[in-house]
Structure 1
Amino acid sequence: MRTINDFIWSVVLQQNDPSDRKPVDSVHTYIVEFDGAAGIEWGNNINVSSLYLKGVEGDVKTQFTGLMYHEMTHVFQWDGEGTAPSGLIEGIADYTILKVYDNPYGFANPGDGDSWDQGYTVTARFLEFCDGIVPAFVAKLNKKMRFTYDVKYFENLTGKSVDQLWKEYKAKYGH
């Protein structure tokens, strides 16, 4: 867990100063039987689905570790005190997986998706694109979302609206 935490703080969110981080003393992780999601984070708690783990094809350790990177990102990320779109929040968590693994299993291809805030792997790929325009884009966006969220943060950081960025993203990959 220390490796996961340090990676999220230093590489993804770039919160090297503990005063920039959420005050989290401990995180409790439970493996329980439930359906519909691989894992769920609420506050400082993470439930991992035993049914998901049982159904994993291939390397269970890699899938579990990727899930922990995703859920721990939720623990540490800012969400505008609940005002940020859920698709963006999930996209940032999957962006962490994208930074850890080269071409993660089951991820959207660059350019896929219907909207920038579709969530999960689609939004992760879009954030990867934005990070190519403005280095450390995700960390800077996360920092802005500490107390509130505004779609104009994209324009503040890149000089372009999120809609323009999405159009450029789609065009870059021929979609």
Structure 2
Amino acid sequence: MSHRYFFLCSLLASSLSLHGISAAVDYQATNYDPNTPGGIRFTNEIGVPYTKQIMGTINDFIWTTVFQQNNPSDRKPVDSVNLYITEIEGYEGITWGNNNINLSSSFLEGYQGDVIWGFTSLLYHEMTHVFQWNGEGQTPEGLVEGVADYTKLRANYVSSDFAKPGDGDKWDQGYDFTARFLEYCDGIVPDFVAKLNAMMKFAFDVKYFEDLTGKPVDQLWQEYKAKYGH
């Protein structure tokens, strides 16, 4: 094999790894409520082709930007992600069984504004649950949900009622409150969330915050609140 041919093959492989990082993951979307108002809205305004395409885009964003897992061995082993449009009592979306996501048809029915935007924002959150480490179930639920909302924040898919910096009563309150706190930690230690996620592969200890920043989490929270005048 010539050096030039080897170089071109290497360059092609590098390009594929950078631009098609999630190609090995299979994405499926099924509308189980096609005749309901929400199911009809999914078919008419969102559709399966867009859903599968954006699932790949989100997957790439989670691996490369949020968790910085460019080495496949660092990632949670997921071969497929299945999305189901169905009725869910009390939830906009839920992730279950490791790689399955249910999105509420009622949520789609009642969404005010650009439903594609709202659908995509919710997918950033739910797909993070598929790929994040959670200390094999030991990570507090508030932190798990906070990391998922942090992905939405990084992707700039948050609505006007998303928590503002400094909001919240405790660091593990969850969702947007914890996401804003994680954003603050990222400002102290670059790539904080990626590093924290890696540490939570097999276990969780609140001391991880101190290991990464040099400060206990309660001190971090107090300083975070003080920074924003709360």
Unaligned runs of 5+ in 1: none
Q: Structure 1 residue 171: deviation in Å?
A: 0.3
Q: Structure 1 residue 71: deviation in Å?
A: 0.7
Unaligned runs of 5+ in 2: 1-54
Provide, for residues 97-118 of structure 1, a one-character-per-residue CA deviation record: whole Å limited to 9, x for no partner: 0001175332101101000000
Provide, for residues 78-127 of structure 1, a one-character-per-residue CA deviation record: whole Å limited to 9, x for no partner: 00000000000000000000001175332101101000000000000000
CA distance in 1, matches of 2:207, 2:177: 20
CA distance in 1, matches of 2:137, 2:168: 24
- Output the TM-score relative to the length of structure 2: 0.75
| Higher RCO, 1 vs 2 (CA within 8 Å, ≥6 residues apart) | 1
Match of residue 112 from structure 2: 57
Matching of residue 40 in structure 1 with residue 94 in structure 2: yes
CA distance in 2, matches of 1:141, 1:171: 23
User: Could you tell me whether the CA contact under 8 Å between 1:111 and 1:173 is conserved in 2?
Assistant: yes
Which among 204, 207, 213 is matched to residue 152 of structure 1?
Answer: 207
Match of residue 135 from structure 1: 190
User: Could you tell me whether the CA contact under 8 Å between 1:97 and 1:104 is conserved in 2?
Assistant: no
Match of residue 22 from structure 1: 76
CA distance in 2, matches of 1:103, 1:94: 9
Provide, for residues 11-61 of structure 1, a one-character-per-residue CA deviation record: whole Å limited to 9, x for no partner: 001111111011100011001012311100011100000111111111111
CA distance in 2, matches of 1:36, 1:102: 22
Q: Could you tell me which amino acid in structure 1 is paired with residue 116 of structure 2? A: K
Aligned pairs for 1:98-113 within 5 A: 98-101=153-156, 104-113=159-168
CA distance in 2, matches of 1:28, 1:78: 19
Q: Structure 1 residue 2: deviation in Å?
A: 1.5
Match of residue 226 from structure 2: 171
Match of residue 126 from structure 1: 181
Provide, for residues 117-166 of structure 1, a one-character-per-residue CA deviation record: whole Å limited to 9, x for no partner: 00000000000000000000000000000000000000000000000000
Aligned pairs for 1:84-95 within 5 A: 84-95=139-150
Match of residue 121 from structure 2: 66
Match of residue 130 from structure 2: 75
CA distance in 1, matches of 2:100, 2:146: 20
- Output the TM-score relative to the length of structure 1: 0.98
Which of 1 and 2 has greater Rg?
Answer: 2
CA distance in 2, matches of 1:159, 1:127: 15
CA distance in 1, matches of 2:122, 2:72: 24
Q: Could you tell me which amino acid in structure 1 is paired with residue 73 of structure 2? A: S
Matching of residue 5 in structure 1 with residue 5 in structure 2: no
Match of 1:47, SS state, is strand
Q: How many residues are aligned here?
A: 175
- CA RMSD in angstroms, aligned pairs only: 0.9
**Segments of 4+ moved more than 3 angstroms:** 102-105
